[in-house]
Homo-oligomer: A and B are copies of this chain.
Amino acid sequence: MTKQEIHQIVSRRSRPAKAPLGRDIIVTTALDLLSRDGLSGLSLRKAAAALDTGPASLYVYFANLGELHTLMLDRALSAVALPAAREGGWRERLTFVLASYLHVLYNGHGLAQLALSTIPTGPNALRLLETLLELLLEGGIDQAVAAWAVDLLVLHVTSVAAEQSVRRDQGYSFGPVIGAINAVSEADYPRIHGLREELLSGGLARFGWGVDVLINGILHAPTLPIATEDIAKPFVKPTE
């Protein structure tokens, strides 16, 4: 045995431990990173670096990155404005809350994209959900219908916010989609070609239009969701 095989235990520390971090500071820092650099500029390691610590330190507060995302989204949702009770009709107030939700997502740069892949379960998300349910029920919509309808509404708003903020962040009139639609062959796809402008138009205005369409549809929905499970059966697996 040589001396090199006797392992000296030496402290690997180069500085003393700091004061405990806490969830709030981490979430705030991560949201700052997100709104400054977008979704691609956000990582656990970067958040840790911004807090002057190593990535391992954050695992005291979160089980994983997904949990941090969930908390970030819920924190951001605290900015959603709920309507003053009884001011205007239920439909007006419903549109108001959803518009506020739209803008919180649209203004927090990478936030809308994050919302598409993260299902929030924190108090602010629940508060929003509760408010939406309340307004739909006030509108006389059947309970079971209302339960499914909120999903449709929230999804629509989230995806409009995501699509538009992506478009804003990478320059208005470029991107592969716009190119592909504009380049479409008139012979092969006459309707896409003819409607290429309408397919790409709208921007944030799609929000209001979609909400109208959805509410109209919800008002005309069958009271009890029909059992349509069987529609799903007679199809084969893809490319085999």
Q: Which residues of the partner chain B approach A214 to less than 8 Å between Cβ atoms?
A: 152, 213-214, 217
Quick one: closest B residue to A211, CB to CB?
Answer: B228
Which residues of A, 104-151, contact B by the 8 Å Cβ criterion? Answer: 104, 107-108, 111, 116-117, 119, 121, 126-127, 129-130, 133-134, 137, 143-144, 146-151
In the complex, the answer to whether A212 meets B205 with C-beta atoms within 8 Å is: no
Contact of A156 among B31, B152, B180, B189 (CB under 8 A): B152
Q: Is the CB of A129 within 8 A of B238?
A: no
User: Does A121 lie within 8 Å of B189, measured CB to CB?
Assistant: no
Nearest-neighbour CB distance to chain B for A3, whole angstroms, equals: 29
**Taking the complex as formed, is A90 at the interface, i.e. its CB lies under 8 A from any CB of chain B?**
no
The count of identical subunits is 2
Central interface residue in A102, A203, A212, A235, by most chain B CB within 10 Å: A235
In the complex, what residue of chain B is closest to A205 when comparing beta carbons? B229
A52 and B162 alpha carbons, distance in the complex (Å) = 38
Known: A81-B235, A159-B155. A227 touches B198 (CB 8 A): no
**Contact between B216 and A204, CB atoms less than 8 A apart:** no
Chain A contact surface mostly: helix
Interface flag for A210 (CB, 8 Å): yes
Cα distance A160–B99 in the bound complex, in angstroms: 23
Given A117-B117, A147-B198, 6 new contacts (CB under 8 A): A70-B176, A107-B235, A130-B190, A143-B195, A152-B156, A205-B232
Q: Across the interface, do B238 and A111 meet the contact criterion of CB distance under 8 Å?
A: yes
Chain B residues within 8 Å of A102, by CB: 232
Of B79, B181, B213, which is within 8 A of A152 by CB?
B213
The list of the 6 closest CB pairs from A to B, nearest first, reads A208-B228, A217-B217, A121-B180, A147-B198, A79-B238, A213-B217
Binding-face segment, A7-15, A54-62, A218-226? A218-226
